[in-house]
Amino acid sequence: MMMMKNPLDPEEFRRQAHLVVDFIADYYSNIENYPVCSQVEPGYLTKTMPQSAPLQPAPIETILQDVQKHIIPGITHWQSPRFFGYFQSNGSTGNFLGEMLLTGFNSVGFNWLASPAATELEMLVMEWLLKLLQLPNSFSFSSSGGGVIHGSTCESFVCTLIAAREKRLQSGTKGDALGKLVVYCSDQTHFSLQKACQVVGISPHNVRSIQTKRSMNFQLSPDALLTAIEADVRAGLIPLYVCLTVGTTPTTAVDPLLTLSEVARRFGMWVHVDAAYAGSACICPEFRHFLDGVEGANSFSFNPHKWFLTTLDCCCLWVKDQSDLTKALSNDPELLKNKASETKKVVDYKNWQIALSRRFRAMKLWMVIRSYGVTGLQQVVRKHVKLAKHFEALLSADNRFEVVVPTNFATVCFRVAASDELDSNPLTQSLLESLNGSALVYMTHAVIEGVYVIRVAIGATLTEEKHVLMLWDMVQQHATHLLAKYISPN
Amino acid sequence: MMMMKNPLDPEEFRRQAHLVVDFIADYYSNIENYPVCSQVEPGYLTKTMPQSAPLQPAPIETILQDVQKHIIPGITHWQSPRFFGYFQSNGSTGNFLGEMLLTGFNSVGFNWLASPAATELEMLVMEWLLKLLQLPNSFSFSSSGGGVIHGSTCESFVCTLIAAREKRLQSGTKGDALGKLVVYCSDQTHFSLQKACQVVGISPHNVRSIQTKRSMNFQLSPDALLTAIEADVRAGLIPLYVCLTVGTTPTTAVDPLLTLSEVARRFGMWVHVDAAYAGSACICPEFRHFLDGVEGANSFSFNPHKWFLTTLDCCCLWVKDQSDLTKALSNDPELLKNKASETKKVVDYKNWQIALSRRFRAMKLWMVIRSYGVTGLQQVVRKHVKLAKHFEALLSADNRFEVVVPTNFATVCFRVAASDELDSNPLTQSLLESLNGSALVYMTHAVIEGVYVIRVAIGATLTEEKHVLMLWDMVQQHATHLLAKYISPN
């Protein structure tokens, strides 16, 4: 058999990578020609792809044809300007270049020595963001805190839960006491917290999901939190951890951080603030007030991979006391011993996360910040918020619709207005199905206090005013059609 | 202020990404001009970088100059042909193109609907690999098993530990019983297992790290495992999980899977086989025997991001009963409810892992397999093994050196030969420091049964025969120099 070229041959790399750059640039140029949500049936790929790995190499040109023909039809186009589902994950050229560089270097930065730049750039970028978000200095490396990039909010939940658990129980004395630990959140908190509790061995019976109300804009009430904690303490349980949210997933509600963290601190609890979605907005001074009270937290996280022009995966976590994390997550095997680590003058990020190995994610965040600057990143947030407020105003001016909660950021929650004759929930659900069925737009839903709402998350990078106006036209047309059917079903 | 161009403007994307392709191709062309291990001092980056995020955007040309000037000096060049440290993480053009595509699409495939292609391509690739590794059909989706791509071996440990824990304890009845669960491994098992146990709430006191011996090539002994289990059962503890390794990190030892899993099954334990490094070799028929007995396992994992031309992060995990994973890791929030999931005809990978969100990692694995074919991937393994055997033969023929364990794969463990006058450990350590100090090569070490060994992991994609011969020249020269100093220290 012929020996193939080295798989990292620089000239072959150059040739093929240029082809793929053009492929992706063309994809973005044509993205509006695709259905936003993939229209394939389950199992579509199995029918078209060979059932065993090919023995021989294929030329890149053939592979790209297959991507176009077989993969793209199965993709839900999160980068489409008409994608309004879940929360967006908005990519950018700067981010893409960062991913290219970090993949190209592929330095496995588990400790400082394994690639000093990976560690030091991460520390630098986390300090930049700390200042940008006006987080208190107690979260800074210059104090006893510090920041780390995780892959997901769930990983940040797991790591801070373990830190809190070990701090409370002291290592090795677990056993019975683990069954007594209780975690608190609201019924609006992201469901990843439940899973994180499951991961670290906290029983689902010991997770208190405290009810919120529409009349309170779905904020967690300090009184309700206190009542729940006191009941557990009376029952001999141990309040461990509370998760507060700035920008909840269903409705972007904002918990009152200051009063809630004061309640939690009275019981020596760990306070985590999850601003996965809304954190990015807080780089604008006019939104920073949503973080007021964050100084009462032990840890804070937000996801640049939602609204900071950054792709998966990138979740920034800060802790006030880095030793809380490193005491719980460190190990020091012979294989990784080195003089730099022994000086204790360097950060070994393996002790700040679950896995040993880690991608050089700081590179993409640094590229994003360098490429757009703070002013550019603020511009993006403001544009999306302005579009959302405009869409909210259009809905509010039409008595067929009801905006269910105030639009804090750039996600609008609305439904078909209820009346005596109309049952809003099934109608709103039908409206969503009708809109998504067009494949021209994509949105998702939430059910809050029994109310079915359509969530419109405006934040894809390519989304412009014309896309939101097109959505508004569609909402009106589909609603007209639906209501006509409902009122005269024959 | 001027409005900037859209951050995903296709033509600007095209222009900038082409520049970065050339930057990286040039990096690979010049990679041998850099010190393999970064020579910077702790804190080097803080001194050169601004302490706050820039307000204004920078042109890509300026940013790339900064990467060249400030970032590259801080990188340890894992892709260098003279990188022989840890285990390699070997990239390739095919992998790079896959990362480009998955970043470009940035579809967040937590469930089938969120991007059907992401789920279905992952299932397809995992079935391809299952056949390629000749894993038993019980691990296939066509049976009741299936495969998933995780980010790291540690994540696979965590998820299988939780699956085993929940299966044993039944959900919600934890409390006391959790403190009784015991996990077994050898003293050669990767330390990530200890951390994974810590994560899921199993006390370090309940992790049995069973001693291995050089005389047994550092294999875990079935008798020693049985003895340890029986002692725990007598003490009222519950044997839960054993981790067996094919290709341990210190010396690439291979545990005897068949007899060990028979012991474990007698006690109803979960058996996990970790072939993080050596799994890739088992795509060659001549190495497949190292997996004999894997049919006795509940789960099996290997890392394409070590030796399968794939960059971080990519760990493939198969389980025999997918419901073990999904019962332990599922949640079904309203926000993600959709008709495809309700049919139960699709796989929702969020229920197979820790986090909700997931990158479209199957894309890079598929690109690697398509780009090189099975024959090309086998060629890579065979080339590295051949180079390692050659290096081993050179060492064996020189009585100043001792090969400490047989070279099973492409990692050679050697030391300076001990004699009455020579204390091998400090000399071997000095030899490693002297070699690494040249910055022309990079290796790491292990300490096994008190013996300090230099580990030479041959597996970087660009490594050719000339690099191994250069290493051999250097080893001889540095040893000559050191031994001369030692024998006549004045």
Round to whole Å and give the CA distance between A56 and A58: 7
ipTM > 0.90 (yes/no) = yes
The answer to whether residues A73 and A108 belong to one domain is no
B235 touches chain A (CB under 8 A): no
The fraction of chain A above a pLDDT of 90, given in percent, is: 90
The answer to whether residues A300 and A440 belong to one domain is yes
Q: Which two tokens stand for residue B227?
A: 């003895």
Smallest CA–CA distance from A45 into chain B, residue = B120
pLDDT value, residue B489: 56
Which of B337, B360, B383 is a domain's end point? Answer: B360
The answer to whether residues B59 and B135 belong to one domain is no
Q: What is the mean pLDDT of residues A430-436?
A: 97
The answer to whether residues B259 and B120 belong to one domain is yes
Angle between helices A153-169 and A192-200 (to 10 degrees): 40
CA of A41 vs chain B CAs: smallest distance (Å): 8
Contact between B201 and A77 using a beta-carbon 8 Å cutoff: no
Would you say B56 and A375 are in contact if contact means Cβ atoms under 8 Å apart?
yes
Round to whole Å and give the CA distance between B76 and B473: 22
A379 touches chain B (CB under 8 A): yes
Q: How many CB pairs under 8 A join A and B?
A: 497
Whether A235 has a pLDDT exceeding 80, the answer reads yes
Note whether residue A83 is domain-resident. no
The answer to whether residues A400 and A439 belong to one domain is yes
Least confident of A163-172, A187-196, A248-257, A407-416: A163-172
Round to whole Å and give the CA distance between B284 and B88: 19
* Closest-CA residue to B366 (of A243, A70, A247, A184): A70
Whether A357 has a pLDDT exceeding 70, the answer reads yes
Q: Which two tokens stand for residue A173?
A: 């004395």
Round to whole Å and give the CA distance between A254 and A409: 10
B400 touches chain A (CB under 8 A): no
Q: A-contacting residues of B 326-365, CB under 8 Å?
A: 328-329, 331, 333-335, 340, 343, 345-346, 354-359, 363
User: pLDDT digit string (tens) for B99-112?
Assistant: 999 999 999 989 99
Note whether residue A475 is domain-resident. yes
What are the residues whose beta carbons fall under 8 Å from the beta carbon of B229, sequence distance 6 or more?
Answer: B182, B184, B239, B263, B264, B267, B269
Which of A78, A99, A117 is a domain's end point? Answer: A78
Which of B75, B99, B131 is a domain's end point? Answer: B75
Q: Which residues of A touch B153 (CB under 8 A)?
A: 355-356
pLDDT value, residue B20: 98
CB atoms within 10 A of CB B311: 27
The answer to whether residues A99 and A150 belong to one domain is yes
Round to whole Å and give the CA distance between A447 and A360: 38
The answer to whether residues B356 and B379 belong to one domain is no
The answer to whether residues B67 and B150 belong to one domain is no
User: pLDDT digit string (tens) for A260-309?
Assistant: 999 999 999 999 999 999 999 999 999 999 999 999 999 999 999 999 99
pLDDT value, residue A391: 98
Round to whole Å and give the CA distance between B228 and B440: 46
Note whether residue A166 is domain-resident. yes
Radius of gyration, alpha carbons of chain A: 25
Note whether residue B317 is domain-resident. yes
pLDDT value, residue B169: 87
Here the CATH number for the domain that contains residue B469 is 3.90.1150.10
Whether A320 has a pLDDT exceeding 80, the answer reads yes
Query: Can you give the residue range of the structural domain that contains A32?
Result: 11-78
Note whether residue A5 is domain-resident. no
Here the CATH number for the domain that contains residue A403 is 3.40.640.10
pLDDT value, residue A2: 61
DSSP string, B61-126: HHHHHHIIIIIGGG---TTSTTEESSS-----HHHHHHHHHHHHH----SSTTT-HHHHHHHHHHH
Nearest CB to B20; choose among A101, A106, A462: A101
Round to whole Å and give the CA distance between A263 and A225: 8
Q: A-contacting residues of B 163-192, CB under 8 Å?
A: 165, 171-172, 174-176, 178-179, 191-192
pLDDT tier, A421 (very low <50, low <70, confident <90, very high otherwise): low
Would you say B183 and B206 are in contact if contact means Cβ atoms under 8 Å apart?
yes
Contact between A7 and B373 using a beta-carbon 8 Å cutoff: no
Note whether residue B147 is domain-resident. yes
Least confident of A116-120, A263-267, A336-340: A336-340
The answer to whether residues A167 and A268 belong to one domain is yes
The answer to whether residues B383 and B256 belong to one domain is no
Would you say A278 and A252 are in contact if contact means Cβ atoms under 8 Å apart?
yes
Q: Which residues of A touch B117 (CB under 8 A)?
A: 38, 40, 45, 70-75
Q: What is the mean pLDDT of residues A88-108?
A: 97
Q: What is the mean pLDDT of residues A73-78?
A: 97
Smallest CA–CA distance from B330 into chain A, residue = A195
Smallest CA–CA distance from B194 into chain A, residue = A331
pLDDT value, residue B299: 98
Nearest CB to A101; choose among B24, B45, B305: B24
Q: Is A356 helix (H, G, I), strand (E, B) or coil?
A: coil
CA distances from B40 to A176, B25, B47 (A): 48, 24, 12
The answer to whether residues A179 and A37 belong to one domain is no
Note whether residue A234 is domain-resident. yes
Q: Which residues of B touch A121 (CB under 8 A)?
A: 45, 71, 74
Contact between B21 and A22 using a beta-carbon 8 Å cutoff: no
Here the CATH number for the domain that contains residue A24 is 1.20.1340.10
Beta bridge partners of residue A416, listed in sequence order: A401
Whether A175 has a pLDDT exceeding 60, the answer reads no
Note whether residue A85 is domain-resident. no
The answer to whether residues B333 and B253 belong to one domain is yes
A450 touches chain B (CB under 8 A): no
Nearest CB to B78; choose among A52, A108, A175: A108
- How many separate domains does chain B show? 3
Q: Which amino acid is at B271?
A: V
Cα B182 to chain centroid distance, Å, stands at 25
Nearest CB to B8; choose among A14, A92, A201: A92
Between B57 and A335, the more confident residue is B57
pLDDT tens series, chain B, 490 aa: 566 899 999 999 999 999 999 999 999 999 999 999 999 999 999 889 999 999 999 999 999 999 999 999 999 999 999 999 999 999 999 999 999 999 999 999 899 999 999 999 999 999 999 999 999 999 999 999 999 999 999 999 999 999 999 999 875 455 568 889 999 999 999 999 999 999 999 999 999 999 999 999 999 999 999 999 999 999 999 999 999 999 999 999 999 999 999 999 999 999 999 999 999 999 999 999 999 999 999 999 999 999 999 999 999 999 999 999 999 999 877 778 888 888 888 999 999 999 999 999 999 999 999 999 999 999 999 999 999 999 999 999 999 999 999 999 999 999 999 776 678 999 999 999 999 999 999 999 999 999 999 999 999 999 999 999 999 999 999 999 999 887 765 5
Smallest CA–CA distance from B22 into chain A, residue = A14
Phi/psi-derived region of residue A319, left when phi > 0, alpha when psi is between -120 and 50, beta in every other case: beta
CB atoms within 10 A of CB A137: 12
Angle at CA of residue B327, ends A173 and A193, nearest 5°: 60
